[in-house]
Structure 1
Amino acid sequence: MHSTTEHRLANLVIIGAMKCGTSSLHRYLSCHPQIAMAPAKELDFFVKEKNWQRGVTWYRSQFADAPIRGEASPNYTRYPIFQGVPERMHQLIPDAKLIYLVRDPVRRILSHYLHNYLDRTENQSLTGALNDLPSNHYVNCSRYYWQLEQFLPYYSLDRLLIVSLEEWSTDRHTTLQRIFQFLEVDWVGDHPVFNGAVPRLPQKNRLTDMGNWVAKLPTSRRFCQWLPGLTERSGELSMDESLEQRLIEILQPDVERLRSLTGRSFARWSV
């Protein structure tokens, strides 16, 4: 029999991917009466270089008591930068359910790069930032099958739900149904909070939403014209067709493995 303290460990983890809607999903799930999401997004507890050293007592303290207790940390699928995440997770919460959000992998790279660029943690042009293909950290975050491969020895497919940003954006009602069924919680999708604008977190960085919006533009267009007043950095935000094609060629094998694993077509993707 589990104690109350043990019961308060997470049993839901949104493992990524970066720039795929994890913040939006975290906010929506926070509104469900049977779900207690950690107040702070990106606990990064299972990342040794981040918060692992804080210990289990700290991790437990992040969750209120509820049938589902969850967190969202996209760094969990940033292998090989952060290694050993699935092993640590399985040691502590072996019965947890995992949600992995994905999107067109080329669009994800653009959104990720743009976020870093506007946040001034990326100083290179897009071409410069991707000059070490195929082993590039932006590209590796878009290798969804490869990232999942790290988890599959520890978590079976029935403990994993894959949600695409495209379906989340265009058919949120049906997607929420899938998520609630997966989590075995009541359907509350008809509540006004799930039919209006995305609930906001006060600390949410506006750059995330801007990055996602700009990344929806055609990849060959220059982005600086859409960012007046945000940056004086000259025309570095672009992707020429040859670079886009190179990314597609690199990512194609991984996407095909993801399709085979999930039985899904991801038909809207450029890859």
Structure 2
Amino acid sequence: MQKFSLEEAPRVPVNVGIVGVQKAGTSSLFDLLRKHPEVCAGPRKEWHLFDDEKRSWDQPDYSDYWAPGRTDRQRIAIDGTPSYLFWPQAMERMRAYRPDMRLIASFRDPIDRAFSHWAMYYGKLASYPSFSKLAQGPARAALLDRIPEGWNHLRMRRWSMIPRGLYGAQVRRGLELFPREQWLFLDFHRFVGDHRETLDRTTAFLGLAPYSREPRLPVIQSTRRDLAAPAPTAADVSRLAEVYADDLDLFTRLSGLDVGDWPTRQVLEGRLDPADLADRLARKAGLRG
């Protein structure tokens, strides 16, 4: 195996994208993949290239979109920006960059994901509302198609708690742009339960050799437990389940993932009381003893 200094290392253009979704283990997956001997350890996980609204997309510049190949085996460079699947026009821009991109998306129960998204911002931002206020507010599905006039990227990121869980609409758009064989859809819950199985699927999808030694799963960042906030309610859970119901059906058909054990599906099918899920979320965040 030939090794190169950083100065002499060949530039490997980014050719794999972990494109979604936020709060679904993408950092841990990226950390495991970058330990593979055929993967370049780039300068960052999240490049935020295709969701950068300040770039000129009429004549985009990709000159800095690469990672150094420190050995002659390293041929995969990964961008792990989980907002791409959600962000308006990001996947279209990615297709214009490289229509043969290999794409990975990890998904998590949408109500769990929404709560984790909310907990990330609550208390850190003045005026950021309670979970109930967001859950009972507008679904904002239009954010999948456009950024409202006057919104900057920070406001878009913070106020998109609900629409980021509309996975079916996002996958449908992704499949319209890239063929199915270029996609790998993963279940965050199964990743946590058996990360080796997920890694085996991922390396096979990318055409990489299996790991000679199983890498240890990094700690998955848990929901904050320093929150001082009103606890979610059964009404909040019921409202979100209603918002996600049809889209979850679409997502199941398009992704092929079995989401029968996801809490949102259990609520919709009457197998889980919304109050019990609300209590579970509250306890996870330390909002109840």
Which residues of 2 match residues 98-247 of structure 1 at below 5 A? 98-120=103-125, 123-135=128-140, 137-188=160-211, 190-192=212-214, 194=215, 196-198=216-218, 209-211=221-223, 227=225, 230=226, 234-236=228-230, 238-247=231-240
Equivalenced residue count is: 233
Shift of 1:142: 0.6
**1:119–1:249: structure 2 CA closer, same or farther, 3 Å change rule?**
same
Distance 1:180 1:155 in 2: 20
Matched AA of 1:191: R
User: Structure 1 residues 11 and 52 mapped into 2: Cα distance closer, same or farther (>3 Å)?
Assistant: farther
Kindly tell me: are residues 197 and 14 of structure 1, through their superposed partners in 2, closer, same or farther at Cα, counting changes over 3 Å? closer
Contact 2:185–2:257 (8 Å) recurs in 1: no
> Could you give the per-residue CA deviations for residues 199-223 of structure 1, whole angstroms, max 9, x where no partner exists?
8xxxxxxxx8232xx6xxxxxxxxx
- The alignment status of 1:18 with 2:22, answered yes or no, reads yes
Range 66-75 or range 177-186, more displaced: 66-75
Q: Secondary structure at the match of 2:104?
A: strand
Contact 1:10 1:93 in 2 (8 A): no
TM-score, normalised by the number of residues in structure 2:
0.73
Distance 1:129 1:99 in 2: 29
1:95 has 2:100 as partner:
yes
Choose between structure 1 and 2: higher helix proportion.
Answer: 1
Task: Write the distance in 1 (CA, Å) between the matches of 2:128 and 2:182.
Answer: 39
| Distance (whole Å) between structure 2 residues aligned to residue 96 and residue 108 of structure 1 | 26
In structure 2, C-alpha distance between the alignment counterparts of 1:265 and 1:235, rounded to whole Å: 33
Distance in 2 separating the partners of 1:52 and 1:38: 24
CA contact (8 A) 1:13 1:96 kept: yes
Displacement of 1:48: 3.5
Residues 42-68 of structure 1: CA distance to partner in whole angstroms, max 9, x if unpaired?
A: 1110114256678211223xx123221
Amino acid in the other structure paired with 2:89:
G
Provide the C-alpha distance between the structure 1 equivalents of 2:85 and 2:35, rounded to a whole number of angstroms: 25
Is the 2:172–2:254 contact (alpha carbons within 8 Å) kept by the matching residues of 1? no
Cα 1:75–1:37 change in 2 (3 A) is farther
Larger radius of gyration: 2
What are the superposed Cα offsets for residues 76-115 of structure 1, whole Å, 9 maximum, x if unpaired?
123xxx3211221111111110000101111000011101
The letter of the residue matching 1:186 is A
- Give me the CA root mean square deviation: 2.5
Given the two structures, how large is their TM-score scaled by the length of structure 1? Answer: 0.78
Report the more deviating stretch, 25-34 or 253-262.
253-262
Say if 1:103 and 1:165, in contact at 8 Å, map to a contact too. yes
Residue 161 of structure 1 aligns to a residue whose secondary structure is strand
Query: Residue in 2 aligned with 1:74?
Result: 82
1:121, CA displacement in angstroms? 6.7
Give the secondary structure class of the aligned counterpart of 1:98.
strand
Alpha carbons of structure 1 residues 172 and 17: separation in structure 2 relative to 1, 3 Å? same
Give the equivalent residue in structure 1 for 2:279: none
CA contact (8 A) 1:9 1:93 kept: no
Q: Percent identity?
A: 23
Structure 2 stretches of 5 or more lacking a match? 1-8, 142-159, 266-289
Is residue 47 of structure 1 aligned with residue 51 of structure 2?
yes
Unaligned runs of 5+ in 1: 200-207, 215-226
Q: Matched residues in 2 for 1:138 and 1:23: separation? A: 19
Paired amino acid for 1:198: P
Q: Confirm or deny: 8 A CA contact 1:113 1:122 kept in the other structure.
A: no
